[in-house]
Structure 1
Amino acid sequence: LVYDIDEHHSAYASYTDIFKPQNARDEDNTLIDPILGKNYEVGIKGEYFDKKLNTSLTLFRTEQDNYAENTWNMNSAGNYIYEKIR
C-alpha cells in the first residue's frame, strides 16, 4: 500500500505472512516445525533534485515462532540437536 503525500514524498505500509520449512532436527531426531510468523513494515520515501537523491525511513517488526536454535549438543548419529524458540 503506497500513498503519495506530495510530489516528493510517499508513505507506505506492508504486511507479510512468514512460512519457512526447516531441515533442523530436535533431540528425538524429529524435524523442527516450519517457521511461522508475520512481518509489519511502514515507512516514508523522498525524492529530491530531479530524482538524483532518494531517502527513506523504515520501521519494521518481525514475529517468528518455531525458529530452530542450535543447542551445540550432538545426538548418537553425530548431528547437532536443535530446539524451537517461540
Structure 2
Amino acid sequence: MATWAQVVDATRKYACELGPDRWYQLRFEDLVADPESQLQGVCGFLGEEYAPGMTEPRRVAGMAVPARRPGTDAPTACWTPPGTAPGPPD
C-alpha cells in the first residue's frame, strides 16, 4: 500500500503530464475557506454553469436526493447481498 506522500508525488507527476486543460486541483482547505470562488473555478473547468445553491448543499439536498433509496428501509445489519441467504444474527 502506498503512503500518502507517495500518492501525492504520483498525483503531481500526472498533473504535470496532463496539463491544465485536463487536470484541476481543488484543495479541501481552499473549498472550506472560500466555497463560492472554488466552486466557480470547478464549474469553469468543467464547462458548467455555477449556481449559488452549490454552496448550500443542505438547503438543496432535499430536492436532489430522495430521503430513502429503495431497499434501505431496513437496518444495514439485516442487509444481505442479492442471491445469498441471510445468516444468523450476531
TM-score, normalised to structure 1, is 0.20
Q: Which structure has the highest helix share of the two?
A: 2
TM-score, normalised to structure 2, is 0.20
Q: Which has the higher contact order (CA 8 A, sep 6+)?
A: 1
Q: Which structure has the highest strand share of the two?
A: 1
